[in-house]
Structure 1
Amino acid sequence: MKIVIAVGLTLFSTVAWAQTAPACPTLPADAGLTWEQRVDATFITCKALTDDGRQVFNLMLTARDPKISLERRLRQEESTFSGEEMYWYQPNLGGQETLPQMASRRIAVVEYEDDRYAQVWINAASPEELASLISLARQLDMNNIGAQLSAGN
């Protein structure tokens, strides 16, 4: 009987935690996107999918500095993410010229809280969709998201 009660309390606390601490930030109701998420002790991944299953926006939250070098020559739009000033960058293709299909793709790394980092990718199909997804990124509220992450040291 004690085992059943302990399991019940564990399940109840897990469900209660899941209801109070969502893994991914809330998407605007009119975004037309849904999150596919994976939660681990050291990272959370959030993939925003369109109704037809196309992955257009990716977010990886971690307590470790990803130490991704973003080259100034690839800097594009100035923006904000969770209240933090930042820039979007074109992905680095290892010195190759930017391919036409890559023109509407972006990457950024943002420290959105002390020792909390977001790696953000946009895989837009057009300049209009890129502008829409950058606007979406500005709206995401990262407060209390990823607080359960550990640095994995």
Structure 2
Amino acid sequence: MTGRSALRAIVAAGLGLGLFSTGAAWAQDAGGCPNIPADSGLTWEYRGNGEMDFCRALRNDGSEAFGLYIAQKTPFTPKSGKRAETGHIDGQEVTWYRGELAGKPDIQVRETLLPLADGRVAHIWMQASNAQELGEVIRQAETMQFPATRLSSK
């Protein structure tokens, strides 16, 4: 077991035993991924390098709830005609934009951009089979908290 793995095991055990009872409990750190509540039922799958972070929030069954790509630039460009909902992620207002999946017109798709303090941007996306599921996934995504050194004050 590596030092980082051992630390994760200790933190997980502490959370399970309620040793960290002040404030909200957060899921384990996963590379460059933001924090999500430990009771969200989600875990991070992380891939990245020095230039980008790719995170997928996975449900217990292994399906993706939402994902994000953090880099200097992202391929997503919001279009004002696709605005759907507004919300907040870590105290910062975001606009969710409708998207489409080729060949799957009934799938609800949402995307947003979140500027970070280190000059990078988080492109966050999700897919849902209906409006109720979409609302739940948006609520889960909006519980993310980025480390203070990464969230932009813009």
Q: Same fold (TM over 0.5)?
A: yes
| Counterpart among 101, 106, 111 of residue 100 in structure 1 | 106
| Counterpart among 56, 67, 74 of residue 47 in structure 1 | 56
1:67-98 Cα distance to aligned partner (Å, 9 max, x none): 6321111110011122221110111569x9x8
| Counterpart among 131, 139, 145 of residue 127 in structure 1 | 131
CA–CA distance in structure 2, aligned partners of residues 21 and 48 of structure 1: 10
Structure 1 pair 90–21 and aligned structure 2 pair: CA distance change class (3 A) = closer
Output aligned runs, 1:35-114, within 5 Å: 35-62=44-71, 64-66=72-74, 68-92=76-100, 99-101=105-107, 104-114=108-118
**8 Å CA contact 2:46, 2:53 repeated in 1:** yes
SS class of match (1:52): coil
Query: Sequence identity of aligned pairs in percent?
Result: 28
CA–CA distance in structure 2, aligned partners of residues 135 and 29 of structure 1: 15
What TM-score comes out, normalization by structure 2 length? Answer: 0.69
**8 Å CA contact 1:57, 1:133 repeated in 2:** yes
Cα RMSD (Å): 3.1
How many residues are matched?
A: 129
The residue that corresponds to 1:4 in the other structure is none
Structure 1 pair 114–77 and aligned structure 2 pair: CA distance change class (3 A) = same
AA in 1 matched with 2:127: N
CA–CA distance in structure 2, aligned partners of residues 50 and 31 of structure 1: 9
Alpha-carbon shift at residue 135 of structure 1 (Å): 1.4
CA–CA distance in structure 2, aligned partners of residues 93 and 38 of structure 1: 23
Higher RCO, 1 vs 2 (CA within 8 Å, ≥6 residues apart): 1
User: Following TM superposition, where does structure 1 have runs of at least 4 consecutive aligned residues deviating by more than 4 angstroms?
Assistant: 18-22, 144-147
SS class of match (1:30): helix
Structure 1 pair 126–93 and aligned structure 2 pair: CA distance change class (3 A) = closer
Runs of 5+ consecutive residues of structure 1 not aligned to the other structure: 1-10, 148-153
Greater per-residue helix proportion: 1
**8 Å CA contact 2:46, 2:54 repeated in 1:** yes
Runs of 5+ consecutive residues of structure 2 not aligned to the other structure: 9-28
**8 Å CA contact 1:81, 1:137 repeated in 2:** yes
